[in-house]
Each structure stands twice: as C-alpha cells, then as structure tokens.
C-alpha cells in the first residue's frame, strides 16, 4: 500500500474488554502494509498488546508519539480520543479514532469496519478536518491545558455561586457570578 502515512502510532483505551483482539488485527494490518508502528507503552504495560505483536512495534510513550508519527490511531471512545488529541495538538499530528464503545461522536471508524475504513483512508480516500482548540489559563495554576471540545468552569461542591472574569485572547470580556460556565468549540461538548 502506498500511503503518505509511513509512521503510525496506536493508543488504546485502558481496561477495555476485548481490545487486545482489535489491537492485534490493527497491528497485523499495518505491518502487512509496510507501516512503521509505534505502540503506546501503556498498552504494553496493561497487557493489552499480544506477545507476537510487540516485536512488530516500537514501544514509546504518548508524549513521544507527536515527535515520531505521521498519524495516530486511537482505539477507544471519545474520552480516549480527546486525551490523545490534547497531547498531540502541539505537534499537529492527525488523529483518527476507532470506536470501541457504544456512542462515539469523535471516533470516525467503526470497530466492525476498522480494516476497510483505515485501508481506504491510508489509500488516500479521506477528508482532513482541522479543529480549533481552546487554551485555558487559571490564575491559581501555572499549567495551560488545551481542550478540543469544551472547557467547564464550575463551583464544584461549593454551595454558593462563584465569581470570575472572562478574557478572550488576553482581552477582558466580562465579570460573571454564576454556578459555572461552559465554553465549547464547534467540535461540541460530549
């Protein structure tokens, strides 16, 4: 198979029943297509990866996937997909999801049609979508996490309203007292 994606990473959802079979089928398919496979170390540590698949893959951390891969395939649901997308966003690596659950608004490929769907995509039959991200900053924390779908600010377990200021691109918008605030991207809140 002649694909623009030569280095593909795989991330699995932890403790998903039967995901080992799906991972095995995916590794065998990608290996047969001559793809360099990078497997998230957590899949190996949890015993998800089959012993015969491990020698066909390079085992690396999620943090390293963005440096090594042209594409990352997520075996899981929306939560796993969002987690991986957040990690890879600074590297602009495309992510495609294989739904392992019931719903799956963000995972584009069904479990039952994984090989056919990914085969078509690797053969060039796909439309790429770029998504905007939200970067969140809170005065109490130094980290600035990214969000693909939404950011929720809530009062938590407190019994009273919270007061906060909203800035967009560093520009003051307003002060608000409420139970919280949800800011969503066009991807939408799951």
**Same-domain check for residues 64 and 151:** no
pTM of the model: 0.83
Same domain for 165 and 117: no
Please report whether residue 1 resides in a domain.
Answer: no
Domain that holds residue 175: 134-184
106-140 tens-digit pLDDT: 777 888 899 999 999 899 888 888 887 777 777 77
Is 42 noted as a catalytic residue in this protein?
Answer: no
Q: How far apart are the first and last CA of the chain?
A: 35
Task: Using the Cα atoms of residue 66, residue 71, residue 73 and residue 77 in order, give the sign of their dihedral.
Answer: positive
Give the number of other CB atoms < 10 A from CB of residue 67.
Answer: 11
- How many domains does the chain divide into? 2
Catalytic residue among 42, 78, 112, 179: 78
In a domain, 189, yes or no: no
118 and 138 inside one domain: no
Q: Highest mean pLDDT range out of 22-31, 37-46, 97-106, 151-160? A: 22-31
Question: What is the per-residue pLDDT across 130-168, written as a single tens digit (0 to 9) for each?
Answer: 887 777 777 777 777 777 778 888 888 777 888 888 888
DSSP 93-108: --EEEEE-SS--SS--
Measured in degrees and rounded to the nearest 5, phi and psi for residue 4 equal: -70, -15
């Amino acid at each position: 198979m002649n694909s623009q994606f030569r280095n593909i990473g795989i991330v699995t959802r932890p403790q998903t029943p039967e995901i080992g079979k799906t991972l095995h089928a995916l590794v065998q398919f990608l290996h047969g297509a001559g793809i360099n496979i990078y497997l998230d170390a957590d899949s190996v540590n949890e015993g998800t990866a089959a012993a015969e698949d491990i020698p066909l893959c390079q085992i690396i951390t999620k943090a390293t996937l963005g440096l090594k891969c042209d594409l990352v395939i997520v075996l899981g649901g929306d939560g796993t997909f969002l987690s991986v997308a957040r990690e890879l966003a600074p590297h602009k690596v495309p992510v495609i999801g294989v739904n392992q659950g019931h719903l799956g608004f963000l995972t584009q490929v069904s479990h039952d049609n994984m090989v056919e769907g990914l085969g078509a995509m690797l053969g060039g039959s796909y439309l790429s979508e770029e998504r905007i991200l939200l970067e969140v900053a809170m005065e109490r924390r130094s980290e600035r996490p990214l969000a693909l779908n939404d950011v929720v600010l809530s009062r938590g377990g407190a019994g009273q309203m919270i007061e906060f200021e909203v800035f967009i691109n560093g520009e003051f918008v307003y002060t608000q007292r409420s139970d919280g605030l949800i800011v969503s991207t066009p991807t939408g809140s799951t």
